[in-house]
Structure formats: C-alpha cells, structure tokens
Structure 1
Amino acid sequence: MTNFVLVAGAWLGAWAWDEVAADLRSAGHGVHPLTLSGLAKKRGVPAPGQRTHVEDIVAEVERLDLRDVVLVGHSYAGVPVGQAAVLIGDRLRRVVLVDANAAVDGDSFLSGWPSDEVRAAIEAHEGFWPPVPADDFAGQDLTDEQIARILDGATPHPGATLTQPAVMSRPLSEVPGTYIKCLLDGEEPWGAAAELLKSDRWTLVTMDTGHWPMFSRPHELARVLRESVTAP
C-alpha cells in the first residue's frame, strides 16, 4: 500500500488536505497529512527552525513505520520535504512537489526570488510571517468561500524556517519525483525547480489552476497524486 505524507505550505496545517486525503483514502491508499511545528494545532514557543520541520517529517515516517512513501510538499513545504526525502532512504517511493520550492543545499526558501518584503514582515512581527490578505489570493481559481477557509485556518509562519538554509547530503534530482506546476501561478517552473526537471528521474505535470490546488481542485489533485505512483 502506498503511503502519502502530505505537507502543506506556509501558514497551513494538516487540515488543508482534508478533501484530497479523503479521495486518496477512498482509493485504498494510506494517507498521513502532517502539521509542521509552530503551525495550526502545533503553535507555540520556542519557534522552530528549518531543521525542526525536516525532523517533523522524518519522525512521522519512522513513528508510523511507513514504507512505500510518497512525500508531498506544497509551496514552502517543498524545502523540508526535499531534505526529508534523502534522509528516509529505501522507505521513499517518490517525491511530489506541488507548485513548490525545491530543496537545494545551502539555499533557504527565500533564496532566488525577491524576498525583502517577506523578510521585513518577519522582522516586524516578532519572527513570524503573517498570512497575506484576501486580495493576494485573487486570480488563483479560488471562490470567496475557499479564500475565507484558508484565512480562517491560517496561522503566522515561523520565520526561521523560511530563512535558514537546507542541508542536503545529495541532490534531490537523484530521487524519483513529480513536479506539479499550477499554471495560474506562472506558466513554467523556475529556479531550482526548473533545474530539477532536467533530471530523467523527474516528471512535470501541469494543472490549470492556482497555487492552492488542494482547495481549488482537490479531486483533480488527488487524481494526479494517484497517477504519480505509477510514473516512471
């Protein structure tokens, strides 16, 4: 049985995967949505760093003794998921990055894109990145109700997890993976994700939706995740 470990991006917790998880379970898969330290029901002090989020993922896989694991990382979560993927060894079946940043040794989530505004927000909010306002979700294939659901559940994101560098013992390109590009958030993967797709172990899939497909197109996303299991 394939075990999907689902990790959402900034501000979100395991609850973001509710509809996707239900679809995957109905297809007979093991599904394990994960809330990272410092977010949602795991809010608290001290605030975690990047390594804590990697350890959250690895610990969950080991605690449940999961095998045949598909690690799924959305947006920010691509960075800790990529690091976890090279640490769990033969437990891993595949990595799936959902419109996500790809982990590169020595780079942080904020590396490679204009991030001065994010860094300023973290400094102004005692080390946390506050959720963006509703207007920032416009044009992403989300209904008003879906935007409200995201913002109602969102919690400030621990800033250190965004600024601290990834530590990779080997490149992510060496493990099998699928990159899901959400076209309303840019037509092509960029930066480290584009480099990753040069590997013959990685496959590109596109979705005609915005950056939060677990809300805008949960059933389509679940189908893509199911199909990723049989990708070459």
Structure 2
Amino acid sequence: MDILLIAGLWLDESAWDDVVPELTALGHHPVPLALPGQGDGDASATLDDQLEAVLAAVDAAPGKPLVVGHSAASTLAWLAADARPEKVAKVALVGGFPAPDGRAYADHFAIEGGVMPFPGWDPFEGADAADLDQQSRDRFASTAVPVPEAVARGVVHLTDERRFDVPVVVVCPEFTPAQAEEWIADGDSPELARAARLEYLDLDSGHWPMVTRPREFARVLAKAANS
C-alpha cells in the first residue's frame, strides 16, 4: 500500500528518513511529503498550499493510500479525507487530533516576523520529549523549520460529511489508547467522535517516534495499513 507521510510542525520530509526503509522492508510504499513552507524557504506558503500538495499525492497514488498525519498534521490528513473521501483508504493520526471546521490549523505559539519558530523544549517537557536525549534535542532544534504564519493561522474548512466514513487509526505515542478514547468521548475531538470506524494503536514513545522509535513506529503504521 502507498503510505503518505505528513510531518508535523517544524519538520520537513527528511523527518521520515529512518521510517521509510523500515516500511519498505515491510512491503509498503512510503511517500514522505514535501510541504510548501516546510523546508523550501517559502515563508509565504498557506495552509491551502499545503493541502494542495497532500491532495496531489493522494491523486497520484496508484491505489487508495493510507494518509498519515503526525501531530498538527493530523488535521492535514483529515482534510485529505474530507476532500477525497472516495480516494483515501484510511487515515492514521499520530499524537494529534484534527482541528474542527472554522478553527485555526495550529495557532499554538508566538508568531515572529511572519513565521512561528520552534519555541524550544519547555512547552514539551514531560511525556512528549521524555525519550529524546540531549543530542536528539539539539539536532531537532537546529534543523527546525519555522512554520509560515499563513499555515499556522490558516482556517480549517471541512465540507464533506463522507469523511466520517473513512476509517481512522489513532496512533497513541505519548498517551495511551484509553486516554485518547476518554478524550474523544468527553468531546475533546468533535470530528473523531463522529468517525464511523475508529481504532487505536499503542506506541511506547514520546511525541516524535520517527526520531526515537522508527522501527517500532513503522511496524505500527504497517499494522494500520494492513488492518
């Protein structure tokens, strides 16, 4: 199966470098996506530009792909299901939940000079970054790509209720499946509360398993693709 890999904030497609060979060895065709504004130096990129790049990859896939969204990019994966419900086999949401219609994509941190730079590690202390050693933290921070303001503050537009029929896998790294299920039941993710087919897969890692547990992460994604 084609597996489209969308990295979260501050990451370009190279974030998947250690996951790609593992998925290939498991018999899948991983496709890390290059998003406008995440690695190409285009600070004017918008959320719509990024969604167009995702949809182009969905349309180019020979069959129905699994669309994987990491962290904030869970929303991009869900937007793909909304725009192409007949072409997306399944979405896998890793360490994140999709923003609802009318909300900003990822307006979580300060904007400086038209971009949202990586804010440092203080906001992520605890379960998010517990398995990142200092070398990994330094490497991440030094290569982090500032997110264009028009991406971070882009407004999410969801229009096709057929998205709720697209199967969803919630991959749970820094939280447990039980916690995710409870949050959704409590109304923290109105979109996933309406998903017709929802399953949970556990992954014992922090928020960035492509860095700390690439082999285990690939196995979980392969399981999502095969289920």
Point out the more displaced range, 181-190 or 164-173.
181-190
Q: For 1:3-50, what per-residue CA distance to the aligned partner results, in whole angstroms no more than 9, with x for missing partners?
A: 00000100101100111111001112111101211111x2225x1221
Q: For 1:31-81, what per-residue CA distance to the aligned partner results, in whole angstroms no more than 9, with x for missing partners?
A: 1101211111x2225x1221111111001232x343120000001111122
* Equivalent-residue separation in structure 2 for 1:104 and 1:134 (angstroms): 27
What is the SS of the residue equivalent to 1:35?
coil
| Equivalent pair of 1:73/1:97 in contact (CA under 8 Å) | yes
What is the SS of the residue equivalent to 2:5?
strand
The structure-2 alpha-carbon separation of the partners of 1:213 and 1:13, relative to structure 1 and needing over 3 Å to count, comes to same
What is the SS of the residue equivalent to 1:4?
strand
1:170 CA drift (Å) = 2.5
The structure-2 alpha-carbon separation of the partners of 1:89 and 1:221, relative to structure 1 and needing over 3 Å to count, comes to same
* Equivalent-residue separation in structure 1 for 2:200 and 2:172 (angstroms): 7
Point out the more displaced range, 92-101 or 197-206.
197-206
Unaligned runs of 5+ in 2: none
| Equivalent pair of 2:173/2:207 in contact (CA under 8 Å) | yes
Question: Is 1:58 matched with 2:55?
Answer: yes
> Corresponding residue for 2:42?
44
The structure-2 alpha-carbon separation of the partners of 1:153 and 1:224, relative to structure 1 and needing over 3 Å to count, comes to same
* Percent of residue pairs bearing the same amino acid type: 30
The structure-2 alpha-carbon separation of the partners of 1:32 and 1:21, relative to structure 1 and needing over 3 Å to count, comes to same
Point out the more displaced range, 148-157 or 214-223.
148-157
* Equivalent-residue separation in structure 1 for 2:34 and 2:83 (angstroms): 19
1:198 CA drift (Å) = 5.9
| Equivalent pair of 1:82/1:95 in contact (CA under 8 Å) | yes
* Equivalent-residue separation in structure 2 for 1:147 and 1:90 (angstroms): 40
> Corresponding residue for 2:114?
127
* Equivalent-residue separation in structure 2 for 1:206 and 1:43 (angstroms): 35
What is the SS of the residue equivalent to 1:204?
strand
Question: Is 1:148 matched with 2:138?
Answer: yes
* Equivalent-residue separation in structure 2 for 1:6 and 1:98 (angstroms): 11
* Equivalent-residue separation in structure 2 for 1:10 and 1:205 (angstroms): 22
Question: Is 1:161 matched with 2:151?
Answer: yes
The structure-2 alpha-carbon separation of the partners of 1:105 and 1:126, relative to structure 1 and needing over 3 Å to count, comes to same
1:104 CA drift (Å) = 2.0
What is the SS of the residue equivalent to 2:97?
coil
Question: Is 1:182 matched with 2:163?
Answer: no
| Equivalent pair of 2:167/2:195 in contact (CA under 8 Å) | no
* Equivalent-residue separation in structure 1 for 2:17 and 2:88 (angstroms): 23
| Equivalent pair of 2:95/2:174 in contact (CA under 8 Å) | no
* Equivalent-residue separation in structure 1 for 2:134 and 2:8 (angstroms): 20
| Equivalent pair of 1:101/1:109 in contact (CA under 8 Å) | no
| 1:222 alignment partner AA | A
1:137 CA drift (Å) = 4.8
* Equivalent-residue separation in structure 2 for 1:198 and 1:168 (angstroms): 13
| Equivalent pair of 1:181/1:187 in contact (CA under 8 Å) | no
1:151 CA drift (Å) = 1.8
TM-score by length of 2: 0.86
TM-score by length of 1: 0.84
1:163 CA drift (Å) = 1.7
> Corresponding residue for 1:29?
28
Alignment length, in residue pairs?
Answer: 218
